Structure formats: structure tokens, C-alpha cells
Amino acid sequence: MCGIVGYIGTQTATDILMAGLEKLEYRGYDSAGVATVLEGEIHCVRAKGKLCNLREKLQREINPAQVGIGHTRWATHGKPEEYNAHPHMDAAMRVAVVQNGIIENYRELREELKARGHEFRSDTDTEVIPHLIAEFLQKTPDSFLEAVRQAVNELRGAFAIAVISADYPDELIAARQQAPLTIGFGQGEFFCASDTPALVPHTRAVLTLENGELARLTPVGVEVYSFEGDRLKKAPRTLNWNPVLVEKQGFRHFMLKEIYEQPGVVRACLEAYLDANWSAENASKSPVNLSLLPQLTDSLERIQILACGTSWHASLVGKYLLEQLAEIPTEVQYASEFRYAPTPLTPNTLTIGVTQSGETADTLAALEMEKRRRIDLDPKFQPRLLGITNRPESSLGHLVPNIIDTHAGIEIGVAATKTFISQLVAFYCLALDLAYQRRTVPPARIEEIIEGLRLLPAQIELILESQERYIEELAHEFAETQDFIFLGRGINFPIALEGALKLKEISYIHAEGYPAGEMKHGPIALLDAKVPVVAIAMPGSVFEKVLSNAQEAKARDARLIGVTPIDDQDAEETFDNLLPVPVVEELLSPILTVIPLQLLAYHIAARRGLDVDQPRNLAKSVTVE
């Protein structure tokens, strides 16, 4: 949440900063600002709203400064107004700071600073930082780095900052504590940013700061220090990067492009982990190679999965697979709840963190807490921690030694689509691997499931080709609808939740997902002719049950939309509108049933003329708790 960028070098800083902020706008878009050092002064320009407002302001001036910082904000403390936009400065306007995160002790710092005569201009937590740095600079005027170092040691919370000063025009200081920050190395120019898309147009040589580290960037190089002041030896690594992923390539929105990338993502993930030569007859080793250490999975008695939002929905499907295939009792927890009410410690438990950004503060904090409480119990104990993400280079990758890369690449649309599908595929692979190791599923059945998995990419393509136009037309009928209900059962209940979440987050239509059998226990009171019901009814253990639950809704005048198997007579008779998907076995169906729901949400939001890729109040990486 919030994107920060910094530049020092030989080019026009504002151009580089604005290009970087454009790549980071998915992290927040309530307001934006840049500050540069020009002719011994800090020059700061800020604007409320999206980046285009800032761009318009900047176009009115010529600013050749070669050092600067920029910010795109997702408001936490203080309304999204210009006076709360970053960068923030000290009273004398000699120090400017951008921050991503939350300074938890800002109230007490602010009171102390006020008592010492500092005046504040914003409602933000961030503003204390330039004031603190300015104070420390009075004590250590010969070292900008030292003043920033002393200031960050006063801060509590999770934050990443970039700082410039009018009195140190050849320096930019960046610091990280629990919020992502990466340094980019160019030729005679250096960058910092919350995320790599802002860096890759300039360089692939990057260094991710660890918690408790700060870096001094000058036109001749980068030095890294610990918050204790020790110089650290660190070398940049080369980033693997596919620039196609961050361009729209003719699609109207990133979300639609990413929906269409899903067949490729499923293929890539399956190819990465499934052994092409494996068969039930030649089953001497696992069909899945996830490169997991044996001590992670040996004698497992329990699995707990920690996640938020869409990743939490993927984890619910994961639970189903892990329990049904590998027969391991599995719990799925909201990371934000787990932190304050953790489940009792049990032996031989694998903890899995699932996150597309790899940066979700609650998920990282919950994993860290879990690791700590197990080590506190037995200092020699190696906690069993596994991460599932498409961003293995993220903070999750630093925290958790074992990662399943879902191979979805970076996702730009704020509403998760391809990363969700890729998390599902990762769970299929993990569940099959554990099922093989634990001998809970015979090889012939494993082979059957794998064959089914391999057919999925072409089946998703078929849905996209055959359904999109119809769904677009159907969506027009719902542009004014105020409430939706999504129903599913068994392995498709999480897909009903996901369908509802997709719709509400991008179309702002109220939507609820329920287990179909729960309707009659209360929610059915909501139904009338104005509330459409979308039910997922796929062949398998609950097919007839879902059809009956749908009939119950129809009897209350609800318009029924069914995600159903192609050419199913019963479904055709039950539903008013059909979103047919190829017939697959129930276990594999979530990978198909979610596709029409993504398209439905997308087209309703697009029809309502909304900003599909950057819905209000949301951000792609939720780096605050």
C-alpha cells in the first residue's frame, strides 16, 4: 500500500519519478506527490486524486533537478487531501520524506515534537519523520545518513521511507522496516522503489533491503547500513523480468488481460511441477516435484493456512484438496485474526502462507508470529513454514525459506484473477504430492487427476472464447442491480465467495457468497425479484442439492444464473441464464467455474463505467495491518 520511488543521477528526476509512480499506482491512488532538490531548495508538488492530477500540475513547470522522491498514497492517517499527500517536510522545508506503512508511535512523537515547538501541517503519521530528522540534523550536521538513522530508531511500526534534504543535494537515504523497498543500480544513477516494476525500465540489477536496513544513495554508488549503524556488505542481484506482463497489450483493462492469461498461467505452473514422464505404472517417485525439504512434510499431522481476501478463498479450496486427497486435517485462518487468537500449538504442523503480493502485512506478521512462538518453545526447533506466491522475490520469500512459485508473474489489476487460479494449481500440486507420499490415493487415481489437470488450460480457453460476448451482454442487464447472491457447495463454496468478492470490489454492488445449503437458515429472507442469484452447480456429490437450493431461490422470485455443465438438461430447466463450462470432475471444477464469475464481475463494472483496474479504496499490496 502506497508506492514510493526515489532517484539520484544525471537525468531529470521528475520524469523518472512520474514514470515510476505510474508503475506503482496499483499500490494506492488517493493522492500523489514528488519532491526534488533544486538550487539549494526542496521543490515539492502534490495533488489530490490520481496521478494524472499531479502530472497536470507538473506540466506547468520546468524542473531539471536530478535527485528526488515520489509517492502515490493509499490513505491511512488523514483524509485523501492534498495537505495529507506525501512528500512531507519539516518546518524549515529542508527535509522531505515519503513513507509507505504506519508509524505506530506517531501520536507520542508528534506531542513531543509539538512541545519542542514543531508545527504540523497534515494529519498524517508520516509528518513526524521529517521533523525528527531535522532535529537530529542539528546534532549531526555533518551526516545526513546519521540523522536519518537516529530518526528511524525512534519509530515503531512497519515502514519504508525515502528521504532527501536541501542541504545534502547529492544524497538520498532509504530505510526499510517491515515494508518492501528495493534499490536499483544503474550507470551513474540509482533508484529506490516499493516494487520492481518501477525499476525494470532502468535496470535489472537490484538489491532488496532487509528489515532494519538503510541505504545511502549518491551519484557514485550505494552503501547499506544496519539501523545500529554498521556498514553491511551487499551486492545486487539480477532480476528475471518479463516486460509484457506490465503492459495492457490491446486489452481495455489489465484485469481482462489477466483473465485471458489464465490458460497460460495454469500451463506454466503444471509444467513447472508435474513430472512429464510419470505414470501410474512407473510410479516409483512422486509425480510432483516441488523441491520441498523432507523435514517440511514428513509425518505431518496438521496443516494451517494463513491468508487474506482472495488468497484466503484459494486456501479454502486448498483445504478441501489437502483433506480429501492427502487426508491431513487442515485449517484456514484469516491472517489478521490468527495474529490475535492463534490456534493452540500442535506438533508436526505445517504452516502455509498464501499471498499474491508476498507483501500483505497481516500474512507476514502472522507467519512471523507463528515462527517465533514455535522457536520460543524449543530454540532448536525448525518451524515448518511454506509460502505460496507468484512473487518469490517478495518479503514472503525472505521470511519463509520454502516457497512454491505459482508462476503467474506480476498482476497489475487490483482484483486478483490469474494469481488466484495459480494458487489453486499450486494447491493441486501440493495435495497430489502429499497424497503420493502418504499413499492416501492410489497411483491410478493420481494419474486420472493429473490428466484432468492437463486438460484445464484448453477448457479455460474454450470458456473465454465461447462465453465472453454473452456474459458482456448479460452484464448490461445488471448494471443497476444493487444486491447479488452467490451460492456454491463443497469445493465450489469458496468459488461462490470469490465470485461475490470480485463483483463487490470492482462494481461496488453488494454481493454475498453462501454455502447453498445455508440459504434457508436466514439469508433467503433477502431474496426477491430484484436480487439475482448466481449458483455454481457442477456434476458431483452436491449437484442435485445445489439445483434444489436454486429452486428454493426461484420460488422467491429470484432471477437465477447458473454456472453449469455444458448441455445439462436439468440445469437448463432450472436457471434463467446459463454460464456453461466444460464437464469436468467435481474436484477440478473450481478452476473452470471461477472464470465466468470473473468475466461477469468485470463486465458489470466496465458497463457501470468504473475504474476496473483501480477500484476505489483498494490497493494491490496491503502493507498495513
Give the residue numbers marked as catalytic.
Answer: 2, 620
The Cα 531–Cα 509 span in angstroms is: 11
CB of 388 to ligand F6R, least distance (A): 10
Amino acid identity of 144? F
CB of 308 to ligand F6R, least distance (A): 4
CB of 618 to ligand F6R, least distance (A): 8
Residue of closest CB approach to ligand F6R: 309
Pick between residue 266 and residue 537 the one whose CB is nearest to ligand F6R.
266
Q: Is residue 36 within 8 Å of 68, Cβ to Cβ? A: yes
Pick between residue 159 and residue 602 the one whose CB is nearest to ligand F6R.
602
CB of 371 to ligand F6R, least distance (A): 17
CB of 240 to ligand F6R, least distance (A): 20
Binding site for ligand F6R (CB under 6 A): 308-311, 355-357, 360, 363, 415-416, 501, 505, 622
CB of 501 to ligand F6R, least distance (A): 6
Q: Is residue 305 within 8 Å of 430, Cβ to Cβ? A: no
Amino acid identity of 74? W
Pick between residue 468 and residue 613 the one whose CB is nearest to ligand F6R.
613
User: Between β-strands 349-354 and 302-307, what pairing exists: parallel, antiparallel or unpaired?
Assistant: parallel
73 phi, psi to nearest 5 deg: -105, 145
582 phi, psi to nearest 5 deg: -55, 150
Starting at the edge strand that comes first in sequence, how are the strands of the sheet with 577-581 ordered?
A: 510-515, 483-488, 533-536, 560-565, 577-581
289 secondary structure, DSSP code: -
CB of 598 to ligand F6R, least distance (A): 10
Instruction: Cell numbers for 622, please give them.
Output: 496491503
Pick between residue 262 and residue 357 the one whose CB is nearest to ligand F6R.
357
Amino acid identity of 8? I
Pick between residue 48 and residue 319 the one whose CB is nearest to ligand F6R.
319
How far does CA 610 lie from the centroid of its chain? Answer: 21
CA distances from 499 to 258, 310, 488, 574 (A): 16, 10, 10, 20
Instruction: Cell numbers for 92, please give them.
Output: 524549515
Pick between residue 97 and residue 430 the one whose CB is nearest to ligand F6R.
430
The Cα 63–Cα 469 span in angstroms is: 48
H-only helix segments in 534-589: 543-554, 569-574
CB of 394 to ligand F6R, least distance (A): 9
The Cα 168–Cα 172 span in angstroms is: 8
Pick between residue 419 and residue 549 the one whose CB is nearest to ligand F6R.
419
How many beta carbons lie within 10 A of that of residue 255, not counting itself?
Answer: 28
Let me know if 11 is exposed, middle or buried by CB neighbors in 10 A (0-12, 13-18, 19+).
middle
User: Between β-strands 483-488 and 510-515, what pairing exists: parallel, antiparallel or unpaired?
Assistant: parallel
Q: Is residue 10 within 8 Å of 189, Cβ to Cβ? A: yes
Pick between residue 438 and residue 504 the one whose CB is nearest to ligand F6R.
504
331 phi, psi to nearest 5 deg: -115, 145
